[in-house]
Amino acid sequence: MTVHKLIVLRHGQSEGNDENKFCGWLDVPLTEKGKKDAEYAGELIKQNNLSPDILYTSKLIRSIETGFIILKVLNKPWIDHIKSWRLNERHYGKYQGRNRHDVFMELNQDKKLFQYIRRNYNGLPPLIDPESDTSIDEKYNDLLNKDILPRGESLHMVMDRLIPFFKYEILDNQMIQLNKTVLIVTHGSIVRSLIKYLNKVDDDDISKIEIPTGVPLVFELNDKGDLIKPYYYLDKEKALEGSEESRNAGLKKKL
């Protein structure tokens, strides 16, 4: 049986993460810690004898920069690199650029509502006016129809724009037909979406899954695209620590 390996990770710490902001489609670079996160991710991939044949990232610099650093560590900067807006983070609508704790306070410190908007499968932030959306810039000029770009998304909406691209372009084509090991460096909501799709997580349970920055996880699949074993992180301890930090983001003011 052929085993197809997919390596997925959320980018290293960005300036937005450090400032406790809803970043979404806003383009923010990595912090120095984030660059070290990326180097460590590359070392983990190398230590586990994984060798990606192709890299996919979003069109956002924190994803692209993390991918570049990983490929440098692996000494594979020459492999094909495909960037797609469909791998962008969830669009947080009017919350983009806002401090998470400030939004939490505006919601009258209603933890249930705050976490519903952040993590529920159907939780939706207030939509942004397209004319005031500064996150839609020249990097999307190649799209013939910009009306398909979001103004705010739930996880459900993220999956609607992600999964067809992932299934046909990455899973069926690159992984199964061409038998490539694929590396996807992306964002928390995209990683959650892939976990939901590949692990068949139900709508309620996906709200309990948090994604750490900078820790690669691996999916092993058969020729039908089914998991042959549970997905796993290459550093379980660091993943648990990062997941807990992500779970509580915004509930307390970051000093």
Segment 11-22, tens digit of pLDDT: 999 999 989 999
Number of structural domains in the chain: 1
pLDDT at 157 over 80: yes
Does any domain span residue 222? yes
Does any domain span residue 217? yes
Here the CATH number for the domain that contains residue 214 is: 3.40.50.1240
Does any domain span residue 252? no
Does any domain span residue 254? no
> Is residue 15 among the annotated active site residues?
no
Does any domain span residue 162? yes
pLDDT tens digits, one per residue of 30-78: 999 999 999 999 999 999 999 999 999 999 999 999 999 999 999 999 9
- Give residue 254's pLDDT: 57
* Full DSSP string of 64-109: HHHHHHHHHHTT-TTSEEEE-GGGSPPP-GGGTTSBHHHHHHHTTT
Full domain range(s) for residue 201 = 4-247
Average confidence (pLDDT) over 221-250: 90
Angle between helices 61-73 and 32-47 (to 10 degrees): 40
d(CA 247, CA 50): 29
Percent of the chain with pLDDT over 70: 97
Does any domain span residue 253? no
Give me the catalytic one of 4, 11, 91, 187.
Answer: 11
> Is residue 11 among the annotated active site residues?
yes
pLDDT at 116 over 60: yes
- Give residue 144's pLDDT: 80
DSSP run (H or E) holding 198: helix 188-199
Does any domain span residue 223? yes
Does any domain span residue 189? yes
Give me the catalytic one of 4, 19, 43, 89.
Answer: 89
